[in-house]
Amino acid sequence: MTESYVIVGAGPVGRQTAELLRDRGDQVAVVTRSGRGVIDGVRSVAADATDSAALSKVADGAAALFNCANPGDYTRWQEMWPPLAESLLATAERTGALLAVTSNLYPYGPTTAPMVEGQPDAATDHKGRLRADMWTEAKARHDAGRIRMVEVRGSDYVGAGVGENGHITRHVPAASRGKAAWVIGKADQPHTWTDVADVARTLVAVAGRPDCWGRVWHVPSNEPRSQRQALTEVLAAGGYEPVAVRAIPMPALRGLAMVNPLMREIAELSYMWTRPYVLDSSRTQQTLNLRPTPWEEVCRRTLAGN
């Protein structure tokens, strides 16, 4: 049966989700501010997603509304996310569409053990609290019967189209020319990497499973690899030699944070790069019978698509 879906955001996750839904024969609309052509066979809509009245017109009759947005200015999340999150909630309530949210691991805060679904959101930094509060509000409205929602959380992105927004992918162009890479924190701490294609597969899967709604699900992700290992293996997928991977000293990062707003935001989350940062996705894999894309394929797609 053909369904209608609306996706807010045309980044790598939004694009992958749109392609999955299109390829199975569903009708898909992607909402962006510009409305410029995004994907063959997918309707592009120019709308301000913070305007719930406008968004509701697009989502009227849709089975699900996918939040794949990611405000581009990392330093302005505190002002940009709340009106967008509220508009999505209001649209879901007005139209009855399931709200499927793409999120990250920020709400959990610093941790010393693999992150599992259901553990407390213990973040104290403002970005982590922001994402945790978004989940809490959406969950409260779901439990009150006002909306239906589900949230998917993944770790740092790799895969096609991530580019400058990824901690590994941003280094690929220069590293493929033999240039050294300077990474945040420690270069050899185990870290989980999530393929954007697997984020999309998980979103589509949980959106079609009412028994999954009202909960957080982790994106199936491969075994953790350090920043050095991940970059080296991505390069190897194209036959490139390893490059030097050096860590930016924490005192230097803190110094930059005093004068650079973006570095200030990154420094606040530096715990992710100075200790193991591992995502456990076993529950999703078992419940939904999903597996992460094989790492070798992830590396090839990461190299080819960035």
pLDDT given for residue 1 in this prediction: 62
Whether 93 and 15 map to the same domain: the answer is yes
User: Per the domain annotation, does 135 fall within a domain?
Assistant: yes
Whether 74 and 204 map to the same domain: the answer is yes
User: Per the domain annotation, does 305 fall within a domain?
Assistant: no
Whether 50 and 180 map to the same domain: the answer is no
What CA–CA distances, in Å, run from 226 to 78, 156, 157, 171, 274?
A: 30, 12, 14, 14, 11
Whether 66 and 141 map to the same domain: the answer is yes
Whether 138 and 236 map to the same domain: the answer is no
User: Per the domain annotation, does 50 fall within a domain?
Assistant: yes
Q: What is the pTM (predicted TM-score) of this model?
A: 0.96
What is the total count of domains within the chain?
2
Whether 98 and 51 map to the same domain: the answer is yes
User: Per the domain annotation, does 303 fall within a domain?
Assistant: no
Q: How far, in Å, CA of 235 to CA of 239, rounded?
A: 7
User: Per the domain annotation, does 304 fall within a domain?
Assistant: no
pLDDT given for residue 260 in this prediction: 86
User: Per the domain annotation, does 301 fall within a domain?
Assistant: no
pLDDT given for residue 220 in this prediction: 98
* Residues of the chain scoring pLDDT < 70: 1, 37
User: Per the domain annotation, does 300 fall within a domain?
Assistant: no
Whether 215 and 247 map to the same domain: the answer is no
The two three-digit tokens of residue 225, written as one number: 């690899």
Q: Residue 79 belongs to what domain range?
A: 4-158+193-221+279-293
Task: Give burial (CB, 10 Å; 0-12/13-18/19+) of 113.
Answer: exposed
For the chain, what is the mean pLDDT?
95
pLDDT given for residue 305 in this prediction: 82
Strands (E), the chain: 4-8, 27-32, 43-46, 64-67, 98-103, 149-153, 156-158, 181-184, 193-195, 216-218, 245-248
CATH code of residue 44: 3.40.50.720
Whether 77 and 58 map to the same domain: the answer is yes
Whether 184 and 149 map to the same domain: the answer is no
Whether 146 and 55 map to the same domain: the answer is yes
* Residue pair 204/21 in contact by the 8 Å Cβ criterion: yes
pLDDT given for residue 35 in this prediction: 87
Whether 54 and 94 map to the same domain: the answer is yes
Whether 48 and 103 map to the same domain: the answer is yes
User: Per the domain annotation, does 16 fall within a domain?
Assistant: yes
